[in-house]
Chains A and B, each alone.
Chain A
Amino acid sequence: MNMFKLAALLVAFALPARAEIDIQTVTSPGGITAWLVEEPGIPFTALEIRFRGGTALDMPGKRGAVNLMTAMIEEGTGDLDSVGFARARDSLAASFSFSSDQDSVGVSARFLTENRDEAVDLLRRALVEPRFDQDALDRVRGQVLAGLRQDAKNPGTLASRRLREMAYGDHPYASTGDGTEESVTALTRDDILDAHRASIALDRIYVSAAGDISAAELGPLLDTLLGALPATGAPLPDRAPMALTGGITVQDFPGPQSTVIFGHQGIKRDDPDFFAASILNEILGGGRFSARLMSEVRDRRGLTYGIGSYLLGYDQAELLMGQFSSANGTVGQAIDVIRDEWRKIATDGVTAAELENTKTYLTGNYPLRFDGNRPIAAMLVGMQMIGLAPDYPKTRNAKVEAVTMEDVARVAATLFREADLRFVVVGQPEGVGSTD
């Protein structure tokens, strides 16, 4: 087949791209720091807040408290009950969302420039002085319990829970932050108040803003919004153990397909080899159609609709994991292909062309992420959470470029350990059984 000479074009286009955003660091008169990208083009601001700790701060026997508390922040404050709060927020056309994960409680807000002060005041009241009414608690608890019952019938959730249980021993990471039906049912209003005090405090806060707001405006806003929060919260969790061993775990579930989650120990975000590891993961199981797993399991063999792997980084644990679904009759074959690919990359590393193409992809793709106030604000707060400097967007691509063939060969040999892979298979796989 007579190909386009695309390779020649690539060289011409593949200049290292850099994210052209200007991050300012703003410290409020009261001492709260935020990162800001000022973009006055559209008259609104996107604001992101994170409190480190999250659902891993749940006290023994209170699993699900931080999650339920977070879901109730929008259920009223002061003289506003749930409905009053929602009406006030919607009348301002502001949006506030509150979320939690193992390591953080998050607030994502956007508000118009024309009523910014009122929106910030309403958000402050919700965050600092939530009502946590008993009737709202019962209603939101009902929704959480319904979600838990649905999870118990969802093969993907069942698989990730099983993997988590096997990996993390008695650490909070071993269970879902949503809690269990039993623990959530038992939570009281006092537990919710405790969870609020434990997880929402100034000693663990990260803030970013992007949009139509200046540094001079953002400083005082931070004090108004957050200044009344308590200085300290609960102690952060310790490092999680890693108890995952190689093998296969099958859990019966009806349906035409098996859902599989697989993984082993990963690598820390601040490890000097992290960039080499993330390039390797991109080559093996990145979200691209040309990644090895997509190519081998989907494109060549038609065994799945999609497969990917990722480096999962918690504050206190790391995993290299992947996920796919395949028909019950073919899932065993897919697992064999994955094992082969794991061995192959550990033994043979990657080709120079793969390394170059992946660097071009990662460096070219990075600036594409900074394309709106909301994504920029989310990126900025995420960077702070993992300890990056404000100039990171300008230096990050050079770190990718600096990775050599020797680096990836050395890291591949230790990162990918086929014998340590644990496959959790939820379904009715044919010819695949639990190994222990």
Chain B
Amino acid sequence: MLRRTLALCLLAATPLLAEDVTTFRLDNGLEVVVIEDHRAPVVTQMVWYRTGAADEAPGRSGIAHFLEHLMFKGTDTLAPGEFSATVEAQGGNDNAFTSWDYTAYFQRVAADRLVLMMRLEADRMRNLQISEDDITTERAVIIEERKQRTDSSPGALLQEQMRAAQFLNHPYGIPIIGWLHEMETLDRQAALDHYTRFYAPNNAILVVAGDVTPEAVREMAQRHYGPLAPSDAITDRKRPAEPPQIAERRMTLTDQRVSEPYVLRSYLAPERDPGDQEKAAALTILAEILGGSGQTSLFAQALQFGANPVAVYSSAFYDGTGLDESTFGLLVVPMPGVDLATAEAAMDAVIADFVDAGPDAEDFARIKTQIRANQIYARDNVDGLARRYGEALAVGLTVQDVQDWPAVLDAVTPEQVQDAAREVLNRNRAVTGWLMPTEEAAQ
């Protein structure tokens, strides 16, 4: 008991150490974030475009991600494949990823090779060349990707179906990889349309993290990204909004490849907004309290421990970093012999109790301690910091919001967490999915 209290006091006295961050903007609108970490002679460059799967034209699902693949083909001055080959010849690694709200590209290299990475990344921001051959083979690759990551996984298929049901009107309900029947029709023109509309310096964020100075980055960025023309097609990111959700949705996916049945629930939940992150912070802590730890969370205690446990595994999860409304998720994997209805009822009983009683004071304090310590641990991973800033800026948050976030989390009260649970954990705004094995496989 004494040890615990002492540790809390110590951490509470530790100032929330911020990372070393500088920001500026070029005349053409490119936003630049520099995160300094001089421990190793390494640098990461990331370019984040403020466009993703939720910005696709209707009927062209998957085009944002398809374009991400095509960005590794040629430019006016670079042959297909030469981009990655050049990075690799420098000992570097490169890759890219697409979400609903953004598409990001990155390279990790020795710090003295940053200027070449900027030259390459700036080149493909405006000068991409795509041939019909590129389209044919790379479309086959993304279809294989869908088969591997989605169609071969009953759990991924259930999540895809649930998301489509969660969002009645917002394009967040469309899978990033795309619906197969639409992926098969994606062509060169669709890719170029998406590219010319969204890929421009005034729709991008450059994050440089590692052994660099802001002055050097400014000079290099000015030289390579500075001459790029901004796009006049960039508009406010207004997507179709959700209507009031007033009816619970439920579904069951049955598949012979399922071994462990489970119940998965997702609720529509608010996201972090600029200058207004309190509710998202409360939900972040709520997820931790309900299902963050396999030993101490409320779910673990109620469902996995005790004389008659109903679950093998349980968790709760929430990530509020998005442009529009997010989701709050719950998962319970029942013990063999416990049916899904029983597991779900037990899960709902934990939630009902929590909404009545609110957080336990000790649980709450312990989670706050960990949140403070995570600020220290996070500084060990400069790539992680680069992603944190890039993602936040790409979804409309500011550097100030990112830097305020730990303090906002720290200021959350038990009452705010209880209120957030009461408001968000409403089954009229939720989708509940059951994943089940087919009868034959269950025997």
Contacts and interface: CB of A to CB of B under 8 A. Distances in A.
- Residue from B72, B84, B139, B141 with most neighbouring chain A CB atoms (10 Å): B141
Given A20-B41, A303-B140, A365-B93, A91 B3 contact: yes
Interface residues of A, number: 79
Contact of B137 (A88, A302, A325, A326): A302
A9 B376 CA distance: 39
Interface string B397-439: 0000000000000000000000000000000000000000000
B260 A357 contact: no
A237 interface: no
A345 interface: no
Given A83-B296, A290-B81, A325-B152, A91 B8 contact: yes
A155 B152 contact: yes
Contact of B109 (A149, A304, A368): A368
Interface stretch (A265-273, A292-300, A313-321, A413-421): A292-300
B227 interface: no
Interface in A15-67: 17, 20, 39, 41-44, 46
Interface stretch (B46-54, B228-236, B301-309): B301-309
A153 interface: yes
Nearest to A373: B380
A364 B91 CA distance: 4
Contacts of B333: 146
Interface stretch (A193-201, A222-230, A238-246, A253-261): A253-261
Given A87-B4, A90-B293, A298 B90 contact: no
A316 B7 CA distance: 45
A4 B91 contact: no
Interface string A305-324: 10000000000000000000
Q: Chain B interface: which size bin?
A: 35 or more
B39 interface: yes
B108 interface: yes
B190 interface: no
B148 interface: yes
Interface in B79-129: 79, 81-82, 84-86, 88-93, 108-110, 112-113, 116
Contacts of B380: 42, 44, 46, 372-374
B42 A368 contact: yes
B366 interface: yes
B89 A14 contact: yes
A257 B376 contact: no
Contacts of B379: 42
B40 A367 contact: yes
Given A3-B82, A289-B81, A361-B89, A86 B293 contact: yes
B313 A6 contact: no
A142 interface: yes
Nearest to A86: B295
B330 interface: no
Contacts of B77: 1-4
Given A3-B78, A93-B373, A368-B42, A83 B295 contact: yes
A116 B271 CA distance: 36
B293 A365 contact: no
A326 B147 CA distance: 8
A153 B442 CA distance: 12
Given A13-B113, A253-B257, 4 more contacts: A153-B258, A257-B148, A372-B380, A372-B381
Interface of A: 1-4, 6, 9-10, 13-14, 17, 20, 39, 41-44, 46, 74, 82-83, 85-88, 90-93, 110, 112, 114-115, 118, 139, 142-143, 145-146, 149-150, 152-153, 155, 253-257, 259, 288-290, 295, 298-305, 325-327, 357, 360-368, 370-374
Q: Which 8 A-B pairs have the closest CB atoms?
A: A364-B91, A302-B140, A93-B373, A86-B295, A305-B145, A289-B84, A302-B137, A149-B259
10 contacts: A3-B78, A86-B296, A90-B296, A255-B257, A256-B147, A259-B152, A304-B141, A304-B144, A325-B152, A357-B85
